Every structure is written in structure tokens, then in C-alpha cells.
Structure 1
Amino acid sequence: MYTPDTIRFRRTPARYDVASRLFHWSCALLLVAQFSIGWLMPDADSVKTPSGLVAWHVGIGSALLVIFSVRLVWVVMRKAPGSDEPRMVLRFLAVAVHSSMYVLMLLVPLLGWLNASGRGWVVRLAGIWRLPELATANSTGAALGEWHSTSAIVLLIFIGLHIFAVVVHQIGFRDSLLGRML
């Protein structure tokens, strides 16, 4: 029974700031688009010049790289809400999954950019501004397509773990963890 003298502890930590939430959900939406297009587009090995879905994939990938890079700078600059997770194992797993996702969110588009440059494709930021070539045509960059695809699948697995953890917190632990990012 609660009395006026009872101390109540909040189970939900403070929310992330507006910019962090905007970066998070922008990246999430772009990733949904990117994975959808990636599976629907024709085999990139047979494409000589990116057009159609392949051009969209390259453009969204470059935009995702820029937005995520700005997000990383923001993460370093601001103080995140503290974790109220008392279980060290879960806290360790959360840090490991988040760190892996951050590395892969940089690695996947960089490998895609290297692969596109190695094929001699022009890479444009969001399909508009031309980006520099990271590799010359017919260099080893062209051979990185499988690395790009494989690392994208690994990223998708980590995203799945991230979503699973949020669902467990919402339904299992009932700690309203999702409210921090909404």
C-alpha cells in the first residue's frame, strides 16, 4: 500500500532526446526500404549501370551512411538516458548488440560503396550529389559484393535481436523500455 511517505521508483528511464529519436527512426525506415529494395532488385552482378531499383538501393544506402554518421557524432556528443537494467548479463548483451549494429551500420554501406565504385558505377548521395570513387573500376572493390550481402544479413540478424529484446522488455518485463525511443 502506498502512503504519501512512500518512495516510488520509476521503472522507465528518461526518454531519449528528440534528435536521437529522429535519427533512430529515420535509420529504421531507411533500413526497411533498403532491405526491401535489396531483395526485390535484380541480381547486381548482371547490372552494368545502376538504374531502377539498383539506383534506388545505391541512393538510399548513401543517404543511410550519411544519416548514420551524423547519428554517431550525436551519440558521442549527448548523454544517453541511463540504463536501469540490474542484470549485468542483459546489460552486456544490450551493449554487444548495439555495438555490433553500429559497426555494421557503417560497414555495410561502405562495402556497398566500394563494390559500386569497383564496378565503375557512379555513387550519388540520395541519388543527387556525386560521391567520390572509393575504388577504381575492375579493382578488388568489385569483388566485395558478397561481403556487402553477407554483412547486410548479419546486420539484419542483429536488428532482429534488437527488436526481440524490445518485445521481451515490453511484454515479459513490462518495463516500458520502448517508451524511451517513442
Structure 2
Amino acid sequence: MRTAVADHRRYSRPAVYLHWAIFLLVATAYLAIEIRGPKGSDSRIFWTATHLWAGVSVLILSLIRVGWRFYRTPPAPEPDNAILMVLAKATHSLLYIFIITQPILGILMINLGGHPVTLAGLGSFTVVAPHHDAGKVVKWVHETLGNVFYFVIGLHALAALFHQFIKRDNVLRRMW
């Protein structure tokens, strides 16, 4: 149920904060997994914990963001070429799917591998029982989606820069 109407030119402050917080957390998750270090090292333990914290935080904030989007209507898209509008809608849909699905896959991957998800300072939790074969499949999907989304995220960032510096329209300013 949509109750509040947004300014037609900008995203609401909570939507902007959630967007950039999720961006920072996704960047942190990617950084952590890329620099985690060799198995058994203190570095790997620290960066794996950071990756888990970032992923669970992305999931929580993403669900809040989706809820906010239903509560507060986002601004109408800037008029543009029909093909670019379809690409923008598809990219945004993929990004929403990614920021919700990827953390869930990560949680499932850990649990299916026979381990609880441990969040430093909060404890551990398990949502599914171990299943080695399913765990391997979920691990492959989680890692493959993570690699594919480097490109989707890059496309999103390039589109924002294209709008800011080539088209010089209002698209990027709406999310500041």
C-alpha cells in the first residue's frame, strides 16, 4: 500500500541513505572476499567475518529498502530513449534481485556446508541443515552471481556517469 507521495524530482532521504549504505556494504563484501588471505590465516578469519557482516547487513537494509519503496513512491523516471528506459528498469530489477538473493545464497551456502553463520558480537544461526551436494551447487551459484554482478554493478555506475557527464541531466542528482 503506497501512502506517501515522493517529490517528483528526487528520491526521499531514507531511500538515498539506504542506496548508499547498501552500496558501501556491497563494496565492503566484495573487498573482503577479494583480499581475505590464505585459509587458516588471521587475515582470512577477519575478512570472512567482515564479508558475512556486510552480507547480512545488505540483506536487512535491502528488505527495508523494498518496504520503503512500497511505502514511499519513488520519483518518476526521467524521460529518455525507450531502449535506455528498458535497460535501466532491467538493471535496477537485477540489482534488487542481487542484493536480496546473494546474501540469502551466502547464508544457505554456509549452512549447507555444515556450519552456522557466525556474526562476531551477535553469535551464530542456522536456517537449514547440512547437505553437502546442495551446498556445492549453492556455493557455485553464489560465486557465479558474485562474479556476474561485477558487470551489472559496473553498468549501473557507468550509466550514472553517462547521465552526469554526457547527458548532463538530473538522473544522478536525484540520488544525492
TM-score over 0.5 for the pair: yes
* Pairing of 1:1-182 with structure 2 (within 5 A): 14-42=9-37, 51-124=45-118, 128-136=122-130, 138=132, 140-182=134-176
Paired letter, 2:28: A
Q: Is the 8 A contact 1:117 1:135 kept in 2?
A: yes
Q: Taking every aligned residue pair, what percent have the same amino acid on both sides?
A: 28
Partner of 2:4: none
CA distance in 2, matches of 1:161, 1:127: 36
Larger Rg: 1
Structure 1 gaps, min length 5: 1-12
- The DSSP-based 3-state class of the residue aligned with 1:97 is helix
The alignment of Structure 1 onto Structure 2 pairs a total of residues equal to 167
CA distance in 2, matches of 1:159, 1:26: 15
CA distance in 1, matches of 2:121, 2:114: 16
TM-score normalised to structure 2 length: 0.85
Paired letter, 1:51: I
- The DSSP-based 3-state class of the residue aligned with 2:115 is coil
TM-score normalised to structure 1 length: 0.82
Q: Which of the pair has the greater relative contact order for Cα pairs under 8 Å at 6+ separation?
A: 1
Summarize deviations over 1:46-82 as a string: whole Å, max 9, x none. Answer: 89xx832112211221111111111111112211111
> 1:136: Cα distance to partner?
1.9
CA distance in 1, matches of 2:101, 2:128: 14
Paired letter, 1:39: E
Q: Is the 8 A contact 1:59 1:123 kept in 2?
A: no
User: Structure 1 runs of 4+ off > 6 angstroms?
Assistant: none
Which moved further from structure 2: 142-151 or 96-105? 142-151
Compute the RMSD of aligned alpha carbons.
2.2
